[in-house]
Structure 1
Amino acid sequence: MIVEDVPSLSMAYAAHLEKAGFEAVIADTGAAALETIAKDGDFAAMLLDLQLPDTDGLQLLRDRPELLRKFPIVVATADASLSRAVDAMRLGSFDFLVKPVSGPRLVSVITSAVELGQADDEAEGAAGEDAANGDRPGNFIGNSPEMREVYRQIECVARSKATVFVTGESGTGKELCAEAIHAESGRRKGPFVAINCGAIPENLLESELFGHLKGSFTGAVGDRIGAAQAAHKGTLFLDEICEMALPLQVKLLRFLQTGTVQRVGSNRVEDVDVRIVCATNRDPRREVAQGRFREDLYYRLAVVPLHLPALRERHGDVAELAAYFLDRFGREEGKSFAPLAADTLARLSRYSWPGNVRELQNVVRRATVMHAGPDLPGTAFHLPGPEDIAAPTSSLPEPAEQPGVADGPASRTADIVTAIHGLTLEQVERIAIEGAIDSAGGSLPAAARALGVSPSTLYRKRERWAVAD
């Protein structure tokens, strides 16, 4: 259904869509559209102009939310009312088009809406079964009110093509959230492609995203598609998006606006249909204010902002997560462990977990490796002392003051040697790196500068640790 009051536009839209094999029905007012739907509501998708003579398209979506459940809705808007299109996406619209709309772009978006709307009907049925069974989206663990709200938001945004901007501290599960959004959407049968914008050198990131042609730069030994084309009909996850250099942000913005990519070394544009989910552990609004992130790109990406709470804010989830990891790692180690004692769970719950779920996972993993079971004493979980529980800031303890001993280099060296006694060189390196990352507020590039290494070195090490964990 095409809901457009300008005859020349509605006829042009219908001509493009009918040429592509669709049957188009035109309504020139909101009332006419509702009357047609009441008589024959079996439409695969709707193209809705937001400026209608008898009603406001955005208000129509607010007043009639059942329309968004009937079929995917693509809204059309002028540049001046782009913010209203973003509001429509937040209500659940599939996508939006900015006038003037080209024929190929119209057909591409409507085709995607129809295909994904059909797939979403299947996903909705599966999601209903999952909800009846009490399942959570993706592989999330936790039933706290804070996480129930996250699950609700994932369910709401999954059906749309709206870009989602996930924020949260390091270790809160931002990629897990992106995977859950993909798995709950009509795109779940398509690919999920993740790319870490901070782990790839700036001069290679454009090629990784958009591809290149043979000979376009040194080392380009053949034609290669990028992550955007690899994720066609699926979801592209851009992690650490705030690490992207400003020149490439301009190209990413154009990709989002046009739905096309241009490989490095090519003068030809190619259509791509992907859903974008991005993430950062920084405050994106602060990055915009300080000129490190484009404001127009931020508002284009943050159509649906989704914040993941830190583990210390997820009241009651620590016990469930600890039990899950204890069972999982126990089975991996071929051991059987009894449920954790109440005092142990209370101690774990009091700790502030600056490394969030990832830190809890590592603490439990170390306990299962170092103890035979079946009982695990509270001392099996190595945490900072009580004075550090409220806000631990470093993985290394502060040097202890001793009466009559000067606080000089030799004393500090002795304290550090004592602190790391019994650890392997790899464990010491990991403590130093994780401490530097915490001190840098979760920013790997800043931590890399402090340690005198490249950011890619830290990303490689963390990826290796994640596999080992």
Structure 2
Amino acid sequence: MPPHKDHVRVLIVEDTPSLATLYQNQLQVAGIAGDIVETGSDALEALCKQTYDVMLLDLQLPDQDGCSVLASAERAGVSVTTIMITAHGSVNIAVEAMRHGAYDFLMKPVSSERLVTSVRNAVESNRIVSQKPERGPVSGQENNTFGFIGSSAAMQGVYRMVESVARSQAPVFITGESGTGKEICAQSIHQAGPRKDGPFIAINCAAIPKDLIESEIFGHKKGAFTGATTDRLGAVMSASGGTLFLDEICEMDINLQAKLLRFLQTNQIQRVGDDKTQTVDVRIVSATNRRPIEEVAEGRFREDLYYRLHVLAISLPPLRDRGHDILELAEYFLKRVSSAEGKDLCSFEAQAQNWLLSHRWPGNVRQLENLITGVAVMNDGEAVAEAMLSAADHTAPPSLPVEYERAASAPVSSLPGDYHAADKSLTVNIERPLAEIEREVIEAVISRCDGSLPKAAHILGLSPSTLYRKREQWLNTDLSVIG
């Protein structure tokens, strides 16, 4: 078959010749050219000599691991979109690969369709980003029509990514903690693109009862079920010609995910109780505050659906990583609420600014907005003092990943295994820094609790959020050492 019209070229880094040849042939059938090398050093040499659109990189190579190859390429100033492939995969390895800059992660054995889809998604992502217009720094004020505020480097990247992906028709997958502005991001993509004159329909998959969500998304015919007294278009039909935003997509029932996948493959839907199909023109933007890779690994989210939705990816930074954006947002919220309430508050004292910058903001921008609203309503004067913020702050422990929230609901008395009868002794070498001793003790208790942070926290007299933050810091430190 002749080469693809866009002359896409892939570097295949695989030390098993039969697999490398298989990948090369599968890509060739799809019109994509591929070159093969067997080691990490050969891969770096090839990247320096020729430009590749995508690199298929085996995680376990004879001379080094795939993450080391990525790190070396970055130090050498070589940029290539990378898809990691391994037979030794796990969620932790996948997350580590993503942290090192990998675009995607595939597990052996890899089907031909999966391989080609992932490569095409990577190429599409490259195409959109490379077409972004040349321009200077983007400020939050210039993007007020999008609802964004903040001029940090982290948000500059988000603004540019929104501008880039908006022109495409490909699906967009937004990730980020609760309160970071995923729906605002989705609206931004809609408003900046060619579908801005069409409808923007948002569905929160976590807020609709399981037995109603199919009807809400795909619609139903009158009499399809008890209570269906009229025809209903559904969100997909209502968004025709525009954008459908599926928030908290990982909460969608696994059976409904299959129907959504069929729609993405055919652009046709079938309403509940209807024997006819209808063709719909709609762009899909999805979002989740979970880790989608882990949801796929645990069988709660279809892998094939993930690959259909995860074509263009945007990750929203947590507020704690946005620096002085915190003050920009706080001042914006303060002036807005003060104006609406007839108050004179318009600034923050120096100590109040330090308090805002030192807060972790587990609820992100939404939490900040709620706090400033309360302060403006309950206080008078011209400047907000630190005491006003402290008095209004009723922060619950920082939000934990869903798996920890589930574990936290279990009674702490029901410790795993025979913990109470187990040997609770631990020998610790004290001729080390305190931080190392603390980590060893905490990890030992967590291990005794079969990985349950809430139960380990109960034993240690700490909050689960404290343990989660410590482990996150340790992971980031480990990865920085590796890189």
2:123 to 88, 91, 105: 88
Give, in angstroms, the shift of residue 135 of structure 1.
Answer: 1.2
Distance 1:209 1:379 in 2: 47
Give, in angstroms, the shift of residue 338 of structure 1.
Answer: 3.6
- 1:179 equivalent in structure 2: 187
Q: Contact between 1:29 and 1:53, CA under 8 Å: does it hold in 2? A: no
Give, in angstroms, the shift of residue 384 of structure 1.
Answer: 9.3
Q: Scaled by the length of structure 2, what TM-score is found?
A: 0.58
- Residues 446, 328 of structure 1: alpha-carbon distance in 2 compared, 3 angstrom cutoff: farther
- Residues 260, 93 of structure 1: alpha-carbon distance in 2 compared, 3 angstrom cutoff: farther
- Residues 450, 185 of structure 1: alpha-carbon distance in 2 compared, 3 angstrom cutoff: farther
Q: Scaled by the length of structure 1, what TM-score is found?
A: 0.60
Distance 2:385 2:139 in 1: 38
1:231 to 225, 239, 257: 239
1:146-175 Cα shifts (integer Å, max 9, x gaps): 111111111111111111111111111111
- 1:98 equivalent in structure 2: none
Identity score, percent: 46
Q: Within the alignment, does 1:198 sit opposite 2:230 as a pair? A: no
Distance 2:152 2:401 in 1: 25
Q: Contact between 1:172 and 1:311, CA under 8 Å: does it hold in 2? A: yes
Distance 1:226 1:85 in 2: 31
Give, in angstroms, the shift of residue 291 of structure 1.
Answer: 1.0
2:142 to 96, 119, 135: 135
- 2:266 equivalent in structure 1: 258
Counterpart secondary structure, 1:288: helix
Counterpart secondary structure, 2:314: strand
Matches within 5 A, 1:29-428: 79=113, 81-92=116-127, 135-136=142-143, 138-382=146-390, 395=395
Give, in angstroms, the shift of residue 81 of structure 1.
Answer: 2.6
Give, in angstroms, the shift of residue 236 of structure 1.
Answer: 0.5
Distance 1:305 1:187 in 2: 19
Q: Contact between 1:238 and 1:278, CA under 8 Å: does it hold in 2? A: yes
Q: Contact between 2:128 and 2:164, CA under 8 Å: does it hold in 1? A: no
Q: Contact between 2:246 and 2:285, CA under 8 Å: does it hold in 1? A: yes
Counterpart secondary structure, 1:146: helix
Distance 1:87 1:327 in 2: 43
Matches within 5 A, 1:6-21: none
Distance 1:343 1:139 in 2: 28
1:305-359 Cα shifts (integer Å, max 9, x gaps): 2111111011111111111001000011011224212221111101111111111
Distance 2:259 2:371 in 1: 41
Moved over 4 A (4+): 28-31, 50-57, 59-63, 127-134, 442-451
Distance 2:263 2:122 in 1: 21
Distance 1:354 1:341 in 2: 23
1:88-116 Cα shifts (integer Å, max 9, x gaps): 3213369xxxxxxxxxxxxxxxxxxxxxx
Distance 2:284 2:408 in 1: 28
Counterpart secondary structure, 2:387: helix
Structure 2 residue identity aligned to 1:324: Y
Counterpart secondary structure, 1:194: strand
Distance 2:287 2:367 in 1: 19
Distance 1:248 1:445 in 2: 24
- Residues 151, 56 of structure 1: alpha-carbon distance in 2 compared, 3 angstrom cutoff: same
Q: Contact between 2:140 and 2:150, CA under 8 Å: does it hold in 1? A: no
Give, in angstroms, the shift of residue 29 of structure 1.
Answer: 6.5
Q: Contact between 1:29 and 1:55, CA under 8 Å: does it hold in 2? A: no
Structure 2 residue identity aligned to 1:91: N
Counterpart secondary structure, 2:340: helix
Q: Contact between 1:214 and 1:220, CA under 8 Å: does it hold in 2? A: yes
Give, in angstroms, the shift of residue 273 of structure 1.
Answer: 0.9
2:401 to 418, 424, 441: 441
Counterpart secondary structure, 1:92: helix
- Residues 370, 62 of structure 1: alpha-carbon distance in 2 compared, 3 angstrom cutoff: same
- Residues 316, 225 of structure 1: alpha-carbon distance in 2 compared, 3 angstrom cutoff: same
- 1:457 equivalent in structure 2: none
Distance 1:133 1:170 in 2: 20
* Alignment gaps of 5+ in structure 1: 7-27, 32-49, 64-77, 95-119, 386-393, 397-434, 452-469
Distance 1:326 1:165 in 2: 32
- Residues 62, 450 of structure 1: alpha-carbon distance in 2 compared, 3 angstrom cutoff: same
* Alignment gaps of 5+ in structure 2: 8-26, 35-49, 55-111, 412-483
- 2:456 equivalent in structure 1: none
- Residues 195, 446 of structure 1: alpha-carbon distance in 2 compared, 3 angstrom cutoff: farther
- Which one has the bigger helix percentage? 1
Question: CA RMSD of the aligned region, Å?
Answer: 3.8
1:365-422 Cα shifts (integer Å, max 9, x gaps): 011000122232221113699xxxxxxxx846xxxxxxxxxxxxxxxxxxxxxxxxxx
Q: Contact between 2:338 and 2:346, CA under 8 Å: does it hold in 1? A: no
Distance 2:327 2:365 in 1: 12
Distance 1:290 1:377 in 2: 47
Structure 2 residue identity aligned to 1:171: G
